[in-house]
Structure formats: C-alpha cells, structure tokens
Structure 1
C-alpha cells in the first residue's frame, strides 16, 4: 500500500529529496517558506520546492504558513491523514501538536549528534572535516535531538559547499526512501548528548577575512562558496584561490610571486594562490589583471 506523505522543505536540497519521494510515494501537500523578495529589484520569488512543484506537479497543494503554532495548521495537516511527515531544511520548528499527528522524519545534513542547527554543511567544511553525511531522524521538540533511524557517511575533503550540498542531497534522497520502506524494521537510536555540537546561522559578515591563516581562509572559501563568499574590509571579493602551504611570513598580505593569471600571497601563517578577484561594483577578473590595473607588483601588499 502506497504511503501518504506531507513534505516540508524549502531550498534545492529539499527539492532533490522531494523528487525522489515522488517516484515511490503519494505526496499529499508541500509546506514551505513564504515567497521572498530577491535581488535589487526585490522580485517576489517562491522557494525552490514550491517553484518545482508548480511547474511539474501543479495538482499537489502548496502551503506557506507564517506560524505552525496556529491550530488551524495542525487541523489542516491532520485532515490530510499523512502516514509520515518528512522535513528537509524547512526552516521552521514543528510544534508538539504537529509532531503528534504522524511520525515526523527529518533529513539532517550531518552525522548527528555533530553539527545540530542551521548550518551543518558549512560548519563541517569550516572545521576541515574530511567526512560528513546525512541522517534520517525521528523528530522531537528539541533542535535536531531526536533518535537516529539511519545514517550514511561520505567524503567531503576539499569540496566546496555547493558540491557538498548536492552530494548530501542525493544521499539524503535515497536514504529517505530506504527509511520509509523499512520504517517498521528500524530501531531508533538515541543520540549521545556528550558528543553533541551546535552550529549557528551563517551571516554575511562571516565572509570577512584578514590574511592571518591561509588554511582557515581556504576553508572559509570552500564553506561560503555559494554565499556569502569571502571578502576584504574594502569589499574586494576573492572568487577563486588555492591553499599552498603553512609557511610563516613576516609581511602579511605581501604579493610573493606574479603568475600568468594569478599570484602568490603571504598570510601570517601560510601561502595562497589568488586566482580570481572582484572589486566592489566591478566585474570578476583574473587576479593578475587586477594587480596590473592597480599597478601592484612583487613585494607590494594586496589592497
């Protein structure tokens, strides 16, 4: 008998999971974040999951409630009679009234109990983790504290956040299907609270860097690849770079060597190859062309 699913999710990560569920299950409805004003023109734009469903499955109802604590939302979901409620990067906390309606399963993009919270992928990359993964978790009233149903590990070394999001979304999609098909055989495993770590929501100012530690800058570059990127106090964005070594330098920000389209840069600890830059209000250009435009040479400081 086909299982009936209420799906809750917002970004492309959730869409990847939703696409896979649509192949095997009956999706009763989508709950997602409200349309948001995007860009300079502040154009009202639907979430990734909403846009996907409207284009490909227009008959599936879509709801964008402001507050899940509203009793009418609980009654609405209850009237759908879901077998499961699947949550993937929805962006809202489910109240107990909804948690009690059906088994609520969250697809969390970390190997819980590590990296509970809003930015598990970016946080794992920032900390130079070589391994990460996804979990299916029975939701409770806590923040990512529920019992683990299944998990799958993968290698994330030297991958940027965009690559890791795609990798984990595909893992989560397949894992979710497997969890649903085998739900009654699975034994939920409580999380070890002693191993729990937490991560905060990423802010734009987190992308601000100084040339102190090359390895840390490289991890920030990977973690914030999609947004907010990395940039200097003057607004200069570093769009592409490579980590070279952990060598100590006396002059921070010194241009060490000019290359055809790039240059080597000294940090207090470590060396970077800077490949592409974008000055505030300008188009992206290769790093060597930027230096030429600023008339900077070996021994000068990047500015």
Structure 2
C-alpha cells in the first residue's frame, strides 16, 4: 500500500530525497519549500532545488513564510496526507502541523543523533574531527531535532573528506533509510528509540568568519577546518595583506620549530606551512582575483614573491 506524502525541504540534500520518494510506490501529493530567494550576481529570485524538482514532476508547491495562520494549516490539512517527510526545510513546524498527518511528521537528519542537532551537522562533524557520521530518520516533535529515532544509518568519515563529499555520501545512505522508515511506519512495526539528550551538541549555522585560519592551532585542527568549510564558506588566510583561500591541504610533518604561519618549504607538491603543532601542506590555493590553482602553478608565477614574503597570516 502506498502512502500519501507531503514533502517539505529546500536545498539539494532534500531534493535528492524527494526524487527517491517520487520514484517509489508512494504518492507525493504536495511539496513545501521556502519562498524563492535572490541569488547570483543579478540577485534574481530563484526557486529552491526542492521546488525545481516538484515543478518538473507537476507536484503542487506551497511556500508559506510560516504556519502561524489558520489558512496555512488548513491548506496543509486539505492534502489529506498520511505522513509529512521533512528534510532540511528551514522552517519550524508548530505542534498543530506535526499532528496533522495520520502518521505525523518524520525528519531526515544528516547526523547520527544526538551528536549534532541543528542547521549544519555535516560541517560541524568535520570541523570537530569526528571519525563517523550518518543519517537519522526520526519522528518529529516540537523540539529541535529531539524526536525519537526510527532508523540510524552510519558511515565513516574519510581522512580527506570535504563537507561536499560527506554531503553526497549521506544522500546515498539517507535515501534507502527513508524508504525503510516509511515501510516500518506503514506496517506498524516501527520501534522508536529515545535520544540521550546529555550527548547532544548544537550544530550552529556557519559564519564566513569561521574560515579565517589561526596558524597557532594544530595542523590536524586546521586540516579539519579547511575540509569542513569546503566548498562553502571556505577557509582562508592572508598573504601580503590580501586574503588567500585554501581549497586543499593535508597534514605533513608532526613537528616544526618555525613560527606558526611560516612557509618552511615550497615545491611542486605545495607550500609546507608551520602550525602550532606540525606542518600543513597547502596543495590548492586561490589568490585574490584568481581561480583556484595548484601550488605548482602558483609557484611558477610567483615564487620570487613568496620567497620575499614567506609567511601566511600577516
């Protein structure tokens, strides 16, 4: 038996889960997404990835600012859905909405709860140096990612993972986990598990200022920062008074006597930079006004300048 589903989400992570539902035996009767936002250099109003998928598949789209009006709640109820699937929607759902569908609302969350609750769980896992992540399908309640867990699917975090790579891997494990949760709920065999609130951390929204590299941190910490903030908002340092974005790096040696930020070696492999503990090899950088380039290409053009100013962060 198929379920009548309302889907709510906005970014690409959500859109990929919506595609899975559309391709399943279930019926997506409506899609909720955030209002169109200005984007690009022209600041043109742009639909979210979720809305774009819905329109491609002739699914009705609703974009309320919130659910504070009786009209918005009545519209949702009018779809007569069995369940509402929420994935990175970005709008708080009041209890009246959580209670509207027959089976309530479930959420696909990009963390093994309760490790990272909140807006940026993928990035925070990398920034913290976690060795694993995953996806949790939970029954939603009025709290922020506090509901009972239905399905938990884990995956390791690789040493060179960026937030983009982890994001894509979590989509791959989240899609089948969502379908399994729906099957369990439909058959009445779901076994909700309560979260341990004492183990919870809040994954705050990212700020561009978090990208500034403090070379006094360890090489491992800076490596996590670069990978966790790639591709957005990006990690950066300064050189000759201008910002240089670091796209790819890796810990190199364990010890160094040089001052943090000093370039201790330059080669085609990269810039080896001293940190508070160990050195970091910067392999791909973006100079001001330029596209991202390999260290080899940058040194071919500016080696003499780096020899004259061999310190980052000044």
TM-score (norm 1): 0.94
Spell out structure 1 runs of 4+ moving beyond 3 A. 288-292
**What's the CA shift for 1:19?**
0.9
Residues 271, 298 of structure 1: alpha-carbon distance in 2 compared, 3 angstrom cutoff: farther
2:215 — aligned with what?
A: 211
User: 1:288/1:210 Cα in 2 relative to 1: closer, same or farther (>3 Å)?
Assistant: farther
Rounded to whole Å, the distance in 2 between the matches of 1:250 and 1:264 is 11
Alpha-carbon shift at residue 221 of structure 1 (Å): 1.1
Normalised to the residue count of structure 2, the TM-score between the two structures is 0.91
Unaligned 5+ runs, structure 1:
none
* Aligned-CA RMSD value: 1.7
Query: For the residues of structure 2 that align with 1:87 and 1:246, how far apart are their CA atoms?
Result: 44
Task: Trace 1:35-114 onto structure 2 (pairs within 5 A).
Answer: 35-55=36-56, 57=57, 59-102=58-101, 103-114=104-115
**When the two structures are aligned, how many residues end up with a matched partner?**
301
Question: What does residue 199 of structure 1 align with?
Answer: 203
Per-residue CA deviation, residues 148-195 of structure 1 (Å, 9 max, x unaligned), is 111111111321111111111121111110110111101211111222
In 1, Cα distance between equivalents of 2:40 and 2:257: 40
Q: 1:229 aligns with which of 221, 234, 240?
A: 234
Q: Deviation string for 1:188-220 (max 9, x for gaps)?
A: 111112222211111111111121221111101
Q: Gaps (5+ residues) in structure 2?
A: none
Distance between the aligned counterparts of 1:127 and 1:248, measured in 2?
24
Q: How many angstroms apart in 2 are the aligned matches of 1:278 and 1:237?
A: 5
Q: Which residue of the partner structure matches residue 262 of structure 2?
A: 254
Would you say 1:162 and 2:164 are equivalent positions?
yes
2:258 and 2:264 in contact (8 A); partners too: no
Q: Give 1:299 deviation, angstroms.
A: 8.6
* CA gap 1:196/1:283 in 2 versus in 1, 3 angstroms: closer
Q: For 1:139-178, what aligned pairs fall within 5 Å after superposition?
A: 139-158=140-159, 159-178=161-180
Does 2:9 correspond to 1:9? yes
